[in-house]
Structure 1
Amino acid sequence: MKAYSLDLRQKIIDVYEQERISQRQLAKRFGVALSFIVKLLKQYRTTGEISPKPFNGGVKLKLNSANLIVLSDLIEQNDDATLDELCQMLEEKTGVSISRATMGRMTQRLKLTVKKRRDPASPHSRASRQAG
């Protein structure tokens, strides 16, 4: 999400100082979240600054480049493994534990697909339904 402009921030500070209205009323008047008003006023009181804080870059990846190479090899060698199975194999090889959802995101990032082969004898498989 993009930071609010300095112009808007300054208007909020000016109105707050001139009219001494509540933070809720400020949020309603300017169409912003109350939490934004609270944080802006706190920042202004403690530092005198109203500019947005710099973006820190988000959450760091749990897997480093070496781990991603290991994962890529695991997927190529076990292309019919489930995401849960890949999580277990990766933990055994690298000692890094990741969730099933993270594994799904990592396979997308590597542009690799994990496809389960259907057992032809399975009641859900096409071959089984056509034979019966």
Structure 2
Amino acid sequence: MGKPCSLDLRERVVAAVETGGLSRKQAAARFGVAPSSAIKWVARFRATGSAAPAKMGGHKPRTLRDEHADWLIARCQAKDFTISQLVEELRLARGLKVDRRSVWEFLHAQGLSFKKKPVRQGAGPT
């Protein structure tokens, strides 16, 4: 995602529409911005009283932490598993909706292997 346009430019476009009598498309052409931007800036100004951009990005906290992490570690150490099985168990048993990638990253960070142990050949009775 790109950097937001300056507040000064946004305010000039909004002022041209609100007090200058221009349409949003005319103001966009006058200031060299996309018509969709002018439309959004004016709508934002009318809704909030400011043309300032909204906060971008931010940190989304991890879903698999605390008691969910403890449960998942215990579950992985108890028996063989696949990532898809863990996602389904988290949804059913814990009411937690997570992506397969999130579970994989958690397991990788914990050093847990999700590969099943192969069945040994010739280990049966003779």
Tell me if both proteins adopt one fold, taking TM over 0.5 as the criterion: yes
User: By how many angstroms is 1:63 displaced?
Assistant: 4.7
Conservation of the 8 A alpha-carbon contact between 2:25 and 2:38: yes
For residues 105 and 26 of structure 2, the distance between their equivalents in structure 1, rounded to whole angstroms, comes to 42
1:47 maps to 48
For residues 103 and 19 of structure 1, the distance between their equivalents in structure 2, rounded to whole angstroms, comes to 53
For residues 76 and 16 of structure 1, the distance between their equivalents in structure 2, rounded to whole angstroms, comes to 64
Aligned residues with identical type, % of pairs: 20
> In the superposition, relative to structure 1, how do residues 73 and 120 fare at CA in structure 2: closer, same or farther (>3 Å)?
closer
User: By how many angstroms is 1:4 displaced?
Assistant: 3.1
For residues 77 and 4 of structure 1, the distance between their equivalents in structure 2, rounded to whole angstroms, comes to 53
Map 1:1-132 onto structure 2 (within 5 A).
1=1, 2-17=3-18, 18=20, 20-23=22-25, 26=28, 29-31=32-34, 34=36, 36-54=37-55, 63=64, 65-78=66-79, 80-91=80-91, 94-99=93-98, 102-109=99-106, 111-112=109-110, 114-117=113-116, 119=118
Conservation of the 8 A alpha-carbon contact between 1:90 and 1:96: yes
TM-score (ref. length: structure 1): 0.57
**Structure 2 counterpart of 1:81, one-letter code:** F
> In the superposition, relative to structure 1, how do residues 46 and 85 fare at CA in structure 2: closer, same or farther (>3 Å)?
closer
What stretches of structure 1 of length at least 5 have no aligned partner?
A: 122-132
Conservation of the 8 A alpha-carbon contact between 1:43 and 1:49: yes
1:4 counterpart SS class: coil
Conservation of the 8 A alpha-carbon contact between 2:83 and 2:100: yes
TM-score (ref. length: structure 2): 0.58
Q: How many residues align?
A: 115
Conservation of the 8 A alpha-carbon contact between 1:82 and 1:114: no
